[in-house]
Amino acid sequence: MLFLVQDGITNGAIYALLGLALVLVFAVTRVILIPQGEFVTYGALTYASLSSGQMPGTARLAVAMGIVAFGLDLFAARKSLHLKLVGRAFAVNIVLPTAILALTAWLAGRHPPIAVCIALSLLIVASIGLFLYRIAFQPLAHTSVLVLLIASVGCHLALQGFGLVFFGAEGQRGPTIADTAFTLGPLRFTGQSIAVYGITVAFIIGLWLFFGLTLYGKALRATAVNRLGARLVGIRTTLSGQIAFLLASVIGAISGILIVPITTLYYDTGFLIGLKGFIAAIIGGLVSYPLTAVAALVVGTVEAFSSFYASNFKEVIVFTLILPVLVLRSLAAPAVEEEKD
Amino acid sequence: MSALLSVSDAHIAYGKVEAVRSVSLEVGDNEIVTIIGANGAGKTTLLNAIMGILQLKGRVVFAGEDIVRLEIEDRVAAGLSLVPEHRELFATMSVEDNLQLGAFRIARAVAARSFERVYALFPRLKERRRQLAGTLSGGEQQMLAMGRALMGAPKLLMLDEPSLGLAPIIVADIFRTIGELRAAGVSVLLVEQNAQAALQIADRAYVMELGEFILDGSAKDIAANARVAASYLGFTHEGESAV
């Protein structure tokens, strides 16, 4: 019994990270981030490819997206082009992903140490996340939640298709971060599960400090609380959106890197994992961080028990969790009018 | 000599309905200018359009630069600041965080001085600096909204109905503070239904009716105008607490 709970908490920790990222992105940009699962897949498979000496296609995707983003930046600023603006856009959109691509190509055949593979995977996925916001969501920032959701589904489908092209239909596994293992009473802890707990806790504390103490963290919260108020003090909605997507893609990639040594990941696995984080986020009402984290642990535990006792119905049972929550929420909360900008 | 803010021939429409027609206005350096008028005359619409929240057809020149195409954030950077009617505070954040974010665009060292200045202007905010903005009283929220706008060291502060829904004693306090801003080198564009209080502190005034300016002049002349006295001052005498 206890090992199921342990298993559930390990999974739940990952869902918690993903759920927190979803809440963050929704609060700041009103985007329901369906492609969060693709960040997981990309992070995991980029890491697995790099550590097996292959060149991940995601590095090239980042460059391609950077070029499109650069074009959009130039077009948006066409009426007031000045050198400083163009230079900055060039550095972020062209130089950065090209440098990452060059570094990846140089390191790919040389079996770099695990830490380098992780750092590089995070860099690649983070730049994809940043450009995804610039290309798909920044031009739509003033539209309704529904339009943003449709765009989000489109991004998910496109990125999943690219995933199939880059990584093929076969699953991959990555090397563990730590090989040690020890037994404590009836439970066996592997280095990997300890890494999952450690990194999850570190991320939650890190986010808490970022939002509580730094000016940019506060600016992000301010945008979530009152978008007009934030603009009136000079906080750009696009800046907040970029930071939110950057954080979400890094969190997604970290989650992928943490689970790819435990389970085989396919190009489309991330979606299902992301969806479980989404359930946690929905239970948290897409607003509450602590409620989301707790709900994620519940989702993980339910999943662990149902895959042990009724593995055929594992997903059904997990996703059915959302029904009573939705009913309760719709009964308890008065209808909320959609916010206008 | 050109004015700090100069709006000429401004038209603002909601869809096909024109809410403001052919309005021109000027605010000079170190000047307090008020726009008075009844509910629905288009005063708030005009302020929101000058800030960039609404689209405006016409020219808006601020500090020598045409800002009509700029985004809200760039207008803030240029030194324009609005305290909106609904205050738009960050309700779930502390007073101090609200003020800190008011100085988002300016350097940390300058922000430290802004804190001192705002706390000197509103000692109440200093007492409550750890409290959440949403738990403040209406008057304190208005002070916080003004304090937040002043943190960014604006050249021109636009105030939309600062007295709305506040007790008379607090209104007096707020208006006294607006008067003090002149000494601090901040120009003020004040939109008010409480015409009497507004005319007492203002240098010049515009009277707005149904989307147009029907009168303008020095605050003294406007206050002495028979029509204004009948339509606005008489009304505010009896219905001061009415919203």
Report the pLDDT value the prediction gives residue A131, as an integer from 0 to 100: 96
CA distance B57 to B69: 10
Give the domain ranges of chain B: 5-233
Q: What is the pLDDT of residues B127-138, one digit of tens each?
A: 999 999 999 999
Are B89 and A229 in contact (CB < 8 Å)? yes
B215 phi and psi, to 5 degrees? -155, 145
Average pLDDT score, chain A: 89
Helices (H), chain B: 43-51, 72-78, 95-102, 108-121, 123-127, 138-151, 168-181, 195-201, 219-224, 226-228, 234-238
Report the pLDDT value the prediction gives residue A333, as an integer from 0 to 100: 67
pLDDT-based confidence at residue B108 (cuts at 50, 70, 90): confident
Residue A111 has pLDDT above 90, yes or no: no
How is domain B5-233 classified at the CATH fold level?
Answer: Rossmann fold (3.40.50)
Q: Please give the residue of chain B at the shortest CA–CA distance from A237.
A: B73
Give the nearest partner residue to B93 out of A225, A228, A232, using CB atoms.
A225
Q: Which of residues 271-330 of A touch B (CB under 8 A)?
A: none
- Quote the minimal CA–CA distance from A150 to chain B in Å: 27
Beta strands in chain A (DSSP E): 181-184, 187-190
More confident residue, B233 or A9: A9
Q: What is the pLDDT of residues A306-328, one digit of tens each?
A: 988 988 888 888 888 888 888 88
In this predicted structure, which of A90-104, A106-120, B122-136, B223-237 has the lowest mean pLDDT?
Answer: B223-237
Report the pLDDT value the prediction gives residue B156, as an integer from 0 to 100: 95
Buried b (16+ CB within 10 A) or exposed e, A101-135: bebbeebbeeebebeebbebbbbbbbbbbbbbbbb
Tokens encoding A328: 């309760």
Residues of A whose CB is below 8 A from B88: 226, 228-229, 232
Beta strands in A47-186 (DSSP E): 181-184
Say if B208 is an interface residue toward chain A (CB within 8 Å): no
Q: What is the pLDDT of residues A40-96, one digit of tens each?
A: 999 999 999 998 888 899 999 999 999 999 999 888 888 777 888 888 889 999 999
Report the pLDDT value the prediction gives residue A331, as an integer from 0 to 100: 82
pLDDT-based confidence at residue B75 (cuts at 50, 70, 90): very high
Report the pLDDT value the prediction gives residue A119, as an integer from 0 to 100: 93
Q: What is the pLDDT of residues B167-184, one digit of tens each?
A: 888 999 899 999 888 888
Beta strands in A48-162 (DSSP E): none
Q: Which of residues 211-270 of A touch B (CB under 8 A)?
A: 215, 218-219, 221-222, 225-226, 228-236
Report the pLDDT value the prediction gives residue B234, as an integer from 0 to 100: 65
pLDDT-based confidence at residue B106 (cuts at 50, 70, 90): confident
Look up residue B233 and give its DSSP letter. Answer: I
A185 Rama class: left (phi>0) / alpha (psi -120 to 50) / beta: left
- Quote the minimal CA–CA distance from A275 to chain B in Å: 29
Which residues does A202 contact at the CB level (< 8 Å), separation at least 6?
A: none
Are B101 and A226 in contact (CB < 8 Å)? no
Residue A274 Cα distances to A11, A151, B10, B50, B171, angstroms: 12, 17, 50, 44, 52
Report the pLDDT value the prediction gives residue A180, as an integer from 0 to 100: 78
pLDDT-based confidence at residue B232 (cuts at 50, 70, 90): confident
